[in-house]
Amino acid sequence: MTFLPTLGALVMLVLMRGRPLLYKYTALATTAAVFVLSLVMVFKFNQNTASFQFIEKVNWIPRLGSSYHMGVDGISVLLILLTTLLSLVIIPASWNYIKDRELSFFASFLFLETGMIGTFCARDLLLFYVFWELMLIPMYFIIGVWGGPRRIYAAFKFFLFTMAGSVLMLVAIVAIAYLARPNHFAAPVFDLDQLQNAVFSFPVQLAAFLAFFIAFAIKVPMWPVHTWLPDAHVEAPTAGSVILAGVLLKMGGYGIIRFCIPLFPDAAAAAVPYILILSIIAIIYGALLSLVQKDLKKLVAYSSVSHMGFVTGGIFALNIIGVEGGVLVMFSHGLLTGSLFLLVGFAYERLHTREISAMGGLASPFPVLASFLLFFTLASLGLPGLSGFVGEFLSLLGLFSYNKAMAVIAAGGIILAAAYLLWMYLRTMFTETRDEKWFKLSDLNLREISSLVPLGALAIWVGVYPATFINIINPSASRLVNQMAPYMAQHGNFLTRFLAALGGRL
């Protein structure tokens, strides 16, 4: 399944040069097939166990102790579903958007999909790293070739930020792989199943944890390493933004759950208070910046920084509810922000601007667009009954049982979210219609609606009956929390002292 998109892309590149309709349908068919496969996987997935399923294991580089080892647990399954769904919907969404070198554009997305799925499945650190970096290449081209006016700057910034983070992670990967060897002449250990049992001394854990964490924090992105995100989002084409916000940011959260915490539990427990503080800063800071943005895409981009704060906050509360909440926020943020970017893109195709001040009164010329935007805006600001609410609520509950003051501050982020989103909606959709010409433009067509509907439907599902998804996440989350419990107990006192020093006693 991982390589099906690559196959599709190769077929397109080799056989279908200069036949736009044919390769567009091939791209659509490929992503659809991958999506169906991932659905099949979700249905066959056994929800009662935390162990990995659908395991494929082939020797890859035996001398380096690295194998092609793939497998999924509940968290991976959800994120893969998100990946395949978003990859599917962006194809029709960008059907006519790109005018230049379309073939390469669609092929890039298929390559990207391979990288993303591989990253979520890899059970071998070296393999993971290969997929992780593999995603950079197509994304770099997507931003750099088909992006906006400052695309080259944005592409460079995106690439170098991510690479700077990940090469440090590479050194850490190598270090732990060689430290985990049973003796000096054995091959290094990259397999996660074996690394899970390895025990590292605290200084090693701390150094490796930091190296991994910085790489993932850049991807999330956490404050203060988020600065590449607004640039990349604003310059990327719509589909690029959707994937960037919908899937690539999730890589960071996923990496933290999968690698950072379980491999270095001691260091992770020690780092909890600091990371929670950073998360809360991200929540508030991202929300405040969203309030003052003039560009719609930038607004959504900064809101991502804020929402992702709930992800890291929930995960690092390190109780079951928090972790489940964090993962659910990732899933729902992928759906909602993905749709918001799609909508901004659709609006841009018609109005050729993203300036909030240039819009106004769009609701009368574009009623369908306005109602979709309303739906996703409400979901994004956490209206109960839609997906945004459930995840953030659980995440806050997790934070609350860890530390009440933090949860209270973080909850302020939700209020701010309501403020900036509703204000944005007010300024763009209501008030007077600025331009009479807009009435001549067409509203969303069937193709565009069809790319939004599945996302909306899932958002409702998650909001109304989250149990479906929580049951999938639960075994993996509880395994993580159980593993961490002894370490948290050990470092718990430290936190109380730390907060007492801050005067945050409750």
Is residue 292 helix, strand or coil? coil
Q: Cβ closer to another protein: 155 or 340?
A: 155
Q: Cβ closer to another protein: 138 or 314?
A: 138
Where along the sequence are the contacts to another protein (CB under 8 A)? 60-64, 101, 126, 129-130, 133-134, 136-137, 140-141, 144-145, 151-152, 155-156, 159-160, 163-164, 167-168, 170-171, 174-175, 177-178, 184, 188, 207
Cα–Cα distance for residue pair 229/249, rounded to 1 Å: 9
Q: Cβ closer to another protein: 119 or 339?
A: 119
Least Cβ distance, residue 348 to another protein (angstroms): 21
Least Cβ distance, residue 166 to another protein (angstroms): 9
Find tokens 């501050």 and name the residue. 409
- DSSP 8-state class, residue 188: P
Tokens coding 140? 């770099």
Using a 10 angstrom Cβ sphere, with 0-12 exposed, 13-18 middle and 19 or more buried, the burial of residue 50 is middle
Least Cβ distance, residue 202 to another protein (angstroms): 16
Least Cβ distance, residue 288 to another protein (angstroms): 31
Q: Cβ closer to another protein: 140 or 216?
A: 140
Least Cβ distance, residue 155 to another protein (angstroms): 7
Find tokens 């900036």 and name the residue. 420
Residue 182, preceding peptide bond in cis (omega within 30° of 0):
no
Is residue 441 helix, strand or coil? coil
Q: Cβ closer to another protein: 37 or 61?
A: 61
Least Cβ distance, residue 178 to another protein (angstroms): 5
Q: Cβ closer to another protein: 86 or 207?
A: 207
Q: Cβ closer to another protein: 129 or 372?
A: 129
Radius of gyration of the chain measured on its C-alpha atoms: 22
Amino acid present at 367: P
Least Cβ distance, residue 159 to another protein (angstroms): 6
The three-state DSSP-derived secondary structure of 206-249 is HHHHHHHHHHHHHHCCCCCCCCHHHHHHHHCCHHHHHHHHHHHH
Q: Which residues, including other chains, have CB under 8 Å from residue 110's CB and lie 6 or more apart?
A: 5, 6, 8, 9, 12, 27, 30, 31, 87
